[in-house]
Amino acid sequence: MVIAKHAAVTLREMRATDIPAARELSRDQQWPHRTSDWTFMFQQGSGVVAEQDGRVVGTTMSWLYGTDAATVGLVIVDPACQGQGIGRKLMEAILEPLADRAVMLNATDVGAPLYRKLGFEPTGTIFQHQGVLTSVPPAEHRANERVRPMGVRDPAAIEALDRTATGLDRRKLLAAVLESARGVMLDRDNEAVGFSLLRRFGRGFAIGPTVAPDAAGAKLLISHWLGVKAGSFCRLDVSSDARLSSWLEELGLPCVGRVKTMVRGTLPPCGTGVRTFSLITQALG
């Protein structure tokens, strides 16, 4: 009987020069990430790669939020190299420096069993909606509210609203997102109570994060961007708690996948009054 032998796998810190190889790995998974998407992720966080025979065969990344939380994502292993424990080694390496932080990730059904073994517990579901809409029916406005373009003073309001909605200190990340994103604000009684950002991602445009006091406000913000980008490919990742999935289906934006939100440790408590309805990305939360 011949027993298959595998070359040794080495782990090391991810470098900018690894981005082309990382993108190829994500393409093999049919993920839409462009080189510029990987570059943005790399610039905001840190990563570990697995090498075998001088070739990158696995990746994982983490992003720090304040002093007490982090997210982990872009966990990929070359299909030809699976079954060697590479995924576990990558996860153990990325989690080691995060031992004192609460860590969140969004897991595929394939990855979830490993994450459970590493101490993660499921807390919810994310629905991935995407497609092209040629027209979008206008959402209903209340008498005291409007959606308006983001102004020069609004980044501070966006950071505060996001902190309340997530409980996380994501100022650094949001500042980076805002460098290339467009934003709109939801005003009620002339007060900013929500926002939504639009940026290039993957096959077209991503709408998120979207933060609002309720689903009605979130629909106004999201409908604005879907109307602006009618005829273009748009993607939203919405939580099961947001209860927007069926609404997006009715609009004609189908759910093409779902992942489980999992957490190790205890995340900082969220505030009250607003919540997150769509994510920046599945990796970033």
Three state DSSP letters for the chain: CCCCCCCCEEEEECCHHHHHHHHHHHHHCCCCCCHHHHHHHHHHCEEEEEEECCEEEEEEEEEEECCCEEEEEEEEECHHHCCCCHHHHHHHHHHHHHCCCEEEEEECCCCHHHHHHCCCEEEEEEEEEEEECCCCCCCCCCCCEEEEECCCCHHHHHHHHHHHHHCCCCHHHHHHHHCCCEEEEEEECCEEEEEEEEEEECCEEEEEEEEECCHHHHHHHHHHHHHHCCCCEEEEEEEHHHCCHHHHHHHCCCEEEEEEEEEECCCCCCCCCCEEEECCCCCCC
Q: Which fold has domain 129-278?
A: Aminopeptidase (3.40.630)
**Residue 204 CA to chain centroid, in angstroms?**
15
**Superfamily of chain region 9-100:** Gcn5-related N-acetyltransferase (GNAT) (3.40.630.30)
Q: Where in the chain is the domain with CATH 3.40.630.30?
A: 9-100
Handedness of CA 155, 157, 161, 167 (dihedral sign): positive
Average pLDDT, consecutive stretches of 10 residues, N- to C-terminus, the chain (285 residues): 62 98 95 97 98 95 97 96 93 96 96 97 97 88 91 97 98 97 97 98 97 97 97 96 93 97 96 96 97
pLDDT for residue 140: 78
pLDDT for residue 1: 35
Answer yes or no: are the C-beta atoms of 23 and 33 closer than 8 Å.
yes
Q: Where in the chain is the domain with CATH 3.40.630.90?
A: 129-278
pLDDT for residue 141: 80
pLDDT for residue 143: 83
Residue type for 219, please? K
Q: What is the pTM of this model?
A: 0.94
263 closest CA partner among 103, 118, 127, 111: 103
Answer yes or no: are the C-beta atoms of 216 and 284 closer than 8 Å.
no
Residue 191 backbone dihedrals phi, psi, to 5 degrees: -120, 135
pLDDT for residue 6: 66
Residue type for 79, please? P
- Token pair 């966990």: residue: 75
Sequence-distant contacts of 176-179: CB under 8 A, at least 24 apart: 176/40, 176/43, 176/44, 177/280
pLDDT for residue 83: 87
